[in-house]
Chains A and B, each alone.
Chain A
Amino acid sequence: MSAVVVGYVPSPEGRAALAKGVEEARFRGARLVVVNTTRGDALVDERYLAGGAVAELQAELAALDVEAELRQDSNGEDVAEDLDRIAGEVDAELVVIGLRRRTPVGKLILGSAASRILLTVHHPVLAVKA
């Protein structure tokens, strides 16, 4: 069974990506793989789910009508490489990510994870706005 991979972060963009991912999984009859990893660089990473938030998300996924799982295996790599690796493992049909509006200067200084994912991941990518 093929899979739809969702790159999830606890933000409006991430929630939108998750919703779209569920829709796509239902549409294609595929299972849902939710990916939430971190590079592990910073001591505090609020985009990485931990503790109670993980349990909440897993309960939410269990209540869905599609088969869903949460993957949090981080290798210390960038999120684009993590998504590429996991999408390769689960034989993904589609990768869904949330898109955040960044100004050109913002992209220059802070970088854009979405742009890296679009270029790195070998599978089709669907970018969803919040």
Chain B
Amino acid sequence: MEAFVQLLEGFNEALTPINLLFALLGVLLGTAVGVLPGIGPAMTVALLLPITYVLEPTAAFIMFAGIYYGGMYGGSTTSILLNTPGESSSIMTALEGNKMAKAGRGAAALGTAAIGSFVAGTIATLLLALVAPTVVELAISIGPADYFALALLAFLAVATVLGSSPLRGLASLCVGLFLGLVGTDLLTGQQRFTFGLPQLADGIDVVIVAVALFAVGEALHVASRLRHGPVQVMSSKGSFMTGQDFRRSWKPWLRGTAFGFPFGALPAGGAEIPTFLSYATERRLTKHPEEFGHGAIEGVAGPEAANNAAAAGVLVPLLTLGLPTSATAAILLAAFQGYGIQPGPTLLTTESTLVWTLIASLFIGNVMLLVLNLPLVGIWVKLLKIPRPYLYAGILLFASLGSYAVNAQPLDLVILLVLGLLGFVMRRFGWPVAPAVIGLILGPIAETNLRRALAISEGDLTTLVDSWFSRVVLLVALLAVALPPLLKLTRRRKEAVG
């Protein structure tokens, strides 16, 4: 029960006024960016990375975690009220939630989303606290070759699962890997892809790439499609959840959590799959099938619980293995690196105060989000009334400020613009941006591990498939790439025959 004692100590640390303040700031900021479509927690955390230069690690991570969770809550508000999901993980919520709002039951939809998110977030964080020490014990025996296999799995799974086609995901991953290569090689001191520019000798900072791909790319993309008319706001009025709503919601909440947490923890790239699975399951298990498509509360409760549980699940591999499984997790990893902390199996022992304070503050953040979300819905909707030119101008201003603040180099702003154009082109042609960020941050780590493994085995490549762990993981990675096209082929053959 040592974990429990450490968790209580974490609460002790997290309940100090300054940490509570940062948690509040984080959740407010997170909800605000979750509400605004196109801007998300990943970009916000990337923009705030320079803050880590002045803040204590604990305070900074509490704020980042608050932003991360808040983003999930905020996304559901716009999904329900405006049928425009703020986050990709809120797409399923929009299906039933918006219908409920149209039928005058907006408050109930928001209520079930908020309470479901709270329940799922709390349970999932509890699971995180329980599972993390166990996973760490398993992870200690992971060697560099095994870590490389895991990183490869993360790359391939994220690339093939997100976006409209696996090929684009892989291409985006390669862009990220390339950008991660720029700079000086640590092991040999060789300069790679610096084009002779001394400013690039340290590589392109992750802040600049993340901000360029997310903020600048999104701003350009929205600017190119601005002449879409405004959306209709649904009223958030109506009766709050009735007893019957509660009775219909609590099982979907639990099932959603069960879906969300494992998928978040797996290197399968975030919260979209569990929300989809949760929706499909609720649809099959509901006692009111005629309501689906017209505003069934289970269709809101399940996916909302799933996406919050997935958010907590993503933290498991991040804190225990140092393996990011989503874009936001990758940027959190970059934040850890900025403090000189290398997440991995040793994180729970060397930085145990930080980790347990973080987990405790996740609980607190969940409570804050529950309390804040329902009364403040009107304010979040007001945010959306800001004309987008002003909004994106503000975002670009912060983006440029943040990028310049990293190194005070004008070249960084040029890189910001170039990569921003790249981000725009990627969005225009449907390339997912998350694999690029994961490639950028995880690529160098994977490379270091690969070369370390090869150095230990003195150039023997079979060391990469030596242990059972790496064999299994590499096999799963291969399956992740090979399975979808194979399934498509067999389906086509079946259709041709039948």
Quick one: which of B36, B37, B227 contacts A76, CB cutoff 8 A? B227
Contacts A45-B385, A46-B385; is A40 near B228 (CB within 8 Å)? yes
Chain B neighbourhood of A48, CB < 8 A: 229-230
Collect the chain B residues with CB atoms within 8 Å of residue A51's CB.
Answer: 232
A115 at the interface (CB under 8 A from B): no
1/0 contact string of A68-90 vs chain B (CB within 8 Å) = 00000010100000000000000
8 Å CB interface, B464-493 against A = none
Q: Judge if A108 is at the interface, Cβ distance under 8 Å.
A: no
Classify the secondary structure of A's interface with B: loop
CB distance from B77 to the nearest CB of A (A): 12
Complex Cα–Cα for A48 and B231 (A):
9
A39 x B387 contact (CB < 8 A): yes
Residue pair B381, A41 in contact (C-beta under 8 Å): no
Complex partner residue of A41 from B82, B231, B233, B387, CB under 8 angstroms:
B387
**How many Å lie between the Cα of A44 and that of B232 in the bound state?**
7
- Chain A's interface size range is 10 to 19
**Chain A 43-79 against B: per-residue CB contact (8 Å), 1 yes, 0 no?**
1111010110000000000000000000000101000
Per the 8 Å Cβ criterion, residues 357-396 of B in contact with A are 381, 384-389
A54 to B101 CA separation, bound complex (whole angstroms) = 18
Nearest Cβ on chain A to B234's Cβ, whole angstroms:
9
Known contacts A50-B232, A51-B232: A43-B227 contact under CB 8 Å: no
A1 — which chain B residues lie within 8 A by C-beta? none
Q: How far is the CA of A40 from the CA of B231 in the complex (A)?
A: 9
Which residues does chain A contribute within 8 Å of B37, judged by CB atoms?
Answer: 43
- Is there a chain A Cβ closer than 8 Å to B226's Cβ? yes
Does residue A105 face the partner (Cβ distance < 8 Å to B)?
Answer: no
B84 CB-CB contact with A under 8 Å: yes
- Report chain A residues within 8 Å CB of B229: 38, 40, 48, 74
Cα distance, A45 to B385, chains bound together (Å): 6
In the bound complex, do residue A44 and residue B82 qualify as a contact, i.e. CB atoms below 8 Å apart? yes
Tell me whether A42 and B232 are in contact (CB under 8 A).
no
Are A44 and B231 in contact (CB-based, < 8 A)?
A: yes
Further 6 A-B residue pairs, CB within 8 A, beyond A42-B386, A45-B385: A40-B228, A40-B229, A43-B230, A48-B230, A50-B231, A74-B229
